[in-house]
Amino acid sequence: MVVSNSDLASEAGVEIMKRGGNAVDAAVATGFALEVTYPAAGNIGGGGFMIIRMADGRAAALDYREIAPLAATRDMYVENGKLTDRSLVGALAVGVPGSVAGMAEALRKYGTMSLHDVMQPAIRLARDGFVVDSALNRSLTYSATRIKQFAGGKVFYPNGAPPAVGSVFRQPDLARTLTLIADQGPAAFYTGPIADQIVAEMHHDGGIITKEDLARYRPIWRDALVGTYRGYTLYTMPPSSSGGITMLETLNQLETWPKLPDFNSAEYKHLLAETFQRAFIDRNTKLGDPAFVNVPTAELTSKAYARKLASTIDPAHATPVPAFATGPEPIHTTHYSVVDAHGNAVATTTTLNGGYGSKTFVDGAGFFLNNEMDDFAAQPGKPNQFGLVQGEADAVQPGKRPLSAMSPTVVLDPNGKLFMVVGAAGGPTIITGVAQVILNVIDQHMSLADAMYAPRMHDQAWPDAITFERGGFTTSAADSLQQMGHHLDPTGSLTDVNALMRDARGGWVGVYEPRATGEAAGY
Ligand code: DON
Quote the pLDDT of residue 331.
Answer: 55
Query: Residue 322 — very low, low, confident or very high, per pLDDT cuts 50/70/90?
Result: low
- pLDDT surpassing 70 at residue 235: yes
User: Contact, 98 vs 155, CB < 8 A?
Assistant: no
Mean pLDDT in residue range 212-233: 98
* Mean residue pLDDT across the chain: 95
DSSP 366: T
Give the helix/strand (H/E) hosting 198.
helix 193-205
The CA distance from 288 to 403, in Å, is: 5
Query: Residue 259 — very low, low, confident or very high, per pLDDT cuts 50/70/90?
Result: very high
- pLDDT surpassing 90 at residue 121: yes
Q: Is 244 in the pocket of ligand 1 (CB under 6 A)?
A: no
pLDDT, tens only, 182-203: 999 999 999 999 999 999 999 9
pLDDT, tens only, 382-418: 888 888 888 888 999 999 999 999 999 999 999 999 9
Annotated catalytic residue: which of 236, 246, 250, 333? 333
Q: Is 87 in the pocket of ligand 1 (CB under 6 A)?
A: no
Q: Is 425 in the pocket of ligand 1 (CB under 6 A)?
A: yes
Mean pLDDT in residue range 282-297: 94
- Please return the burial class of 380, using the count of CB atoms within 10 Å of its CB with bins 0-12, 13-18 and 19+: middle
CA of 315 to the centre of ligand 1 (A): 32
Quote the pLDDT of residue 398.
Answer: 96
Quote the pLDDT of residue 206.
Answer: 95
Pocket test for ligand 1, best of 4, 65, 246, 353 (most atoms within 8 A of CB): 353
- pLDDT surpassing 80 at residue 332: no
Q: Is the dihedral of CA 216, 219, 221, 227 positive or negative?
A: positive
CA 329 vs CA 92, 190, 295, 385: distances in Å: 18, 30, 29, 6
- pLDDT surpassing 70 at residue 325: no
User: Contact, 435 vs 251, CB < 8 A?
Assistant: yes
CA 459 vs CA 35, 270, 510: distances in Å: 31, 10, 27
Lowest mean pLDDT among 154-163, 238-247, 302-311, 319-328: 319-328
Q: Is the dihedral of CA 297, 101, 67, 330 positive or negative?
A: negative
Quote the pLDDT of residue 328.
Answer: 37
Mean pLDDT in residue range 492-518: 95
- pLDDT surpassing 70 at residue 489: yes
* Ordered DSSP codes for 312-337: T--TTSPPP----------EEEEEEE
HEC string for 135-164: HHHHHHHHCHHHHCCCCHHHHHCCCCCCCC
Of ligand 1's atoms, which has the minimum distance to the CA of residue 425?
9
Of ligand 1's atoms, which has the minimum distance to the CA of residue 375?
5
Q: Is 333 in the pocket of ligand 1 (CB under 6 A)?
A: yes
Quote the pLDDT of residue 327.
Answer: 34
Q: Are strands 466-469 and 488-491 parallel, antiparallel or unpaired?
A: parallel
- pLDDT surpassing 60 at residue 99: yes
Q: Which residue has the higher pLDDT, 469 or 321?
A: 469
Q: Is 191 among the catalytic positions?
A: no
- pLDDT surpassing 80 at residue 499: yes
CA of 48 to the centre of ligand 1 (A): 10
pLDDT, tens only, 52-91: 999 999 999 999 999 999 999 999 999 998 989 999 999 9
Query: Residue 330 — very low, low, confident or very high, per pLDDT cuts 50/70/90?
Result: very low
Mean pLDDT in residue range 268-283: 97
- pLDDT surpassing 90 at residue 134: yes
Q: Is 177 in the pocket of ligand 1 (CB under 6 A)?
A: no
**Which amino acid makes up residue 26?**
A
Neighbours of 124 (CB within 10 A): 17
Mean pLDDT in residue range 36-48: 96
Q: Is 404 in the pocket of ligand 1 (CB under 6 A)?
A: yes
| Percentage of the chain lying above the pLDDT 70 cut | 98
Backbone torsions φ then ψ of 196, nearest 5 degrees: -60, -40
Q: Which of these, 128, 62, 126, 68, lies nearest to 100 by C-alpha position? A: 62
CA of 372 to the centre of ligand 1 (A): 8
